[in-house]
Amino acid sequence: MQFDTFLQNTELILAEGAVYERLRNHSSIEFDPHLAHAACIYDPAAARILEQVYREYLDIGQKNHLPMVVSTPTWRANRERLNLSAYKNRRVNQDNARFLTDIRKSYGATGRPPIFIGGLTGPRGNAYRPEEALSKDEAVSFHTYQVKALAEAELDFLYATTLPAVSEASGIATAMAKTGLPYILSFVIRANGRLLDGTPLDQAIQDIDAVTTRPPIGYGVNCVHPTILLQALTRKEIEKKSLTGQIIVFAGNTSAKSPEELDCLEEIDTEASDRFAELMGTVYRQYHIPILGGCCGTGTDHIKSLAGQLKTERLNRHDATGVGPG
């Protein structure tokens, strides 16, 4: 089934936890200075660790009978960085997509909840510094190469995350719309309901929908703590404009620090997995965001706790409505 069709007919999809941060802090892995974890697949030892991280998350989804979303480790594999790296003659995006689709194939299909793979890209600059964001036209030119490369692979959707500014997000949307694949854009926001460039979240969504011939199938928020999202979505100016059905992904951080504080941290600020899961359960209960997972600070324990919490929330919701889980 196509990802966008499946999404319209389901109420809960589990997403992965942190991959980038877990590998960046792994004692046995030396990150490529330009491509980060996208280069891990070319080193046998690093590739085994990368595969283990993905399988830990996927096994949680399978054990809990939850459909799942994972994304390629290509957040930094844009053309500019590829050309600066030792892998400029490799098909890095396509190879990473193949790496992940091979892992998916090993789980089989019969009797299994589905696994969907998103082709991941990120902003050109620092995700916490909106002043580094590209203009719309610059973003179209800059991101088209990677977007096309990911679209060539056997992926279910395209996924741009940790976007601090509506200008660069608009350009990415324009590039992704041309591929014909469903796609999602995910922002970093503040508790006041605004992107880091100051644009209100609802306005950013309206602006992007208006400038693209084929808008995203939905939007997301990532790299912020669940309490930040809850504060943002309960502000009066946001409540007046329903975002139900538009925000379809939330990947929560384990730190409630501001982007400026997080940008300066040398060590990850984390919290207990059960507390994280409880807060994510509140997000699901109040706003019914269907795709929930983790970002910086999360690991296997956080996603395991999240899966259990979400199953409980879903059962409670069905008990309250009298409708069984379809």
pLDDT at position 239, please?
57
- Cα 267–chain centre separation: 21
Domains delineated in the chain: 11-319 (3.20.20.330)
Q: Which residue has the higher pLDDT, 41 or 236?
A: 41
Residues 268, 218, 140, 80: what is their CA dihedral angle, to the nearest 10 degrees? 30
Q: Which residue has the higher pLDDT, 324 or 83?
A: 83
Confidence band of 326 (pLDDT split at 50, 70, 90): very low
Q: Looking at the predicted structure, is the pLDDT value of residue 23 above 50?
A: yes
Tell me the mean pLDDT in the region 168-173: 98
Confidence band of 33 (pLDDT split at 50, 70, 90): very high
For a pLDDT cut of 90, what percent of the chain falls above it?
Answer: 80
Are 175 and 149 in contact by the 8 Å Cβ rule? The answer is no
d(CA 237, CA 80): 39
Burial class of residue 79 (count of CB atoms within 10 Å of its CB; 0-12, 13-18, 19+): middle
Beta-carbon contacts of residue 321 (< 8 Å; ≥ 6 apart): none
pLDDT at position 319, please?
64
Say which range, 153-167, 249-263, 285-299, has the weakest mean pLDDT. Answer: 249-263
- Taking CA atoms, 112 is separated from 7, 116, 192, 283, 324, in Å, by 17, 12, 40, 27, 20
**CB atoms near residue 112 (< 10 Å):** 12
Tell me the mean pLDDT in the region 150-166: 96
pLDDT at position 79, please?
97
d(CA 245, CA 248): 6
Q: Which two tokens stand for residue 28?
A: 């046995």
Q: Looking at the predicted structure, is the pLDDT value of residue 106 above 50?
A: yes
Q: How big is the CA angle at 126 (ends 122 and 127), to the nearest 5 degrees?
A: 55
